[in-house]
Amino acid sequence: MGMSSITVDAKWLASRLENPELVILDARGSIPYSFGHIKNAKPLGLEDVIRVSEEGASLVIDGNEAEKLFSAFGIDDSKDVIVYGEASDPSVGRVAWTLMYYGHRNVQVLAIGFSKWLQLGYPVTRDVPKSVVREASKANIEAQLRFKPKITESIRADAEYIKKRLEDPNVLFLDARTPQEHFQARIPGSILDNWEDGVGHAGEMLKGKSELEEDFERKGIGKESEIICFCHAGVRASHKYLQLKQAGYERVKVYDGSIIDWAKRGYPLR
């Protein structure tokens, strides 16, 4: 599988739903999943990849938890992982980014949202793959840990890291929230770039590479900067991360704690 792109084509995925080397994750949560999902997909929602800090910030789960969680889904170095969800929901970004943060090389997102997949008549089922049922028993998981977390420090930022770089002209803080939220309170010097600006117009999860590149360039978001994405709880920021990667940006980080974490620490807001 060519990993050059962040997205995989629906037709490509539809022809590989039985491929044992592929793990398909549904990021919409277990309720929507139970009403119908892509054949052989397993439900892995936002709440599974977040641990709430004492301050109430939604931080990335720790390594032990990631090891157990991703092992239970049968993910190891040999597997390609495809994450899908709804184009109107940024959760896909946070699930994919968490896998990337823990060093999984082969992670991509489905190019279209689930509603579009449905509309185009691709295979949908209400059957739950046996592995989900079987591997959900904790005793089993211990016996078959497959996922080895390898932290990718370069794609995550914490409050201290940001605080030291507030005045650094080579670092760009990107606010993936709405204009209203941005003007209420933001990290000083940040640029507004609503995550929805990077979503496709016809049910696609992301705009195409060249369209994204043009958008970012027009907003003064250059490839030479280090870019740190934030939002309210680090979910929309993770989607923005995918958009930047799709556009070929190398130096991008997610501040998973985002404004909740920043404000609770009493750090400067504009």
Closest Cα partner for 81 from 99, 63, 67, 65? 99
Give the CA angle between residues 95, 150, 22 to the nearest 5°. 50
**DSSP letter for each residue of 79-97:** -EEEEE--TT-THHHHHHH
Q: Are residues 203 and 105 in the same domain?
A: no
| Per-residue model confidence as pLDDT tens digits over 15-44 | 999 999 999 999 999 999 999 999 999 999
Instruction: Tell me which residue range forms the domain holding 31.
Output: 7-143
Last residue of a domain, one of 111, 143, 175: 143
Q: Which helix (H) or strand (E) holds 114?
A: helix 114-119
Q: Are residues 16 and 135 in the same domain?
A: yes
Q: Are residues 136 and 194 in the same domain?
A: no
Is residue 269 one of the residues assigned to a domain? no
Is residue 137 one of the residues assigned to a domain? yes
Amino acid at position 205, single letter: M
Q: Are residues 32 and 114 in the same domain?
A: yes
Is residue 185 one of the residues assigned to a domain? yes
**What's the pLDDT score for residue 128?**
85
CATH number at residue 160: 3.40.250.10
Is residue 19 one of the residues assigned to a domain? yes
Overall pTM surpassing 0.75 (yes/no): yes
Is residue 270 one of the residues assigned to a domain? no
Task: Supply the Cα-derived Rg of the chain in whole angstroms.
Answer: 18
Answer yes or no: are the C-beta atoms of 49 and 73 closer than 8 Å: no
The segments of the chain whose pLDDT lies below 50 read 1-3, 134
Q: Are residues 168 and 132 in the same domain?
A: no
Report how many domains make up the chain: 2
Q: Are residues 138 and 11 in the same domain?
A: yes
Q: Are residues 204 and 119 in the same domain?
A: no
Q: Are residues 68 and 95 in the same domain?
A: yes
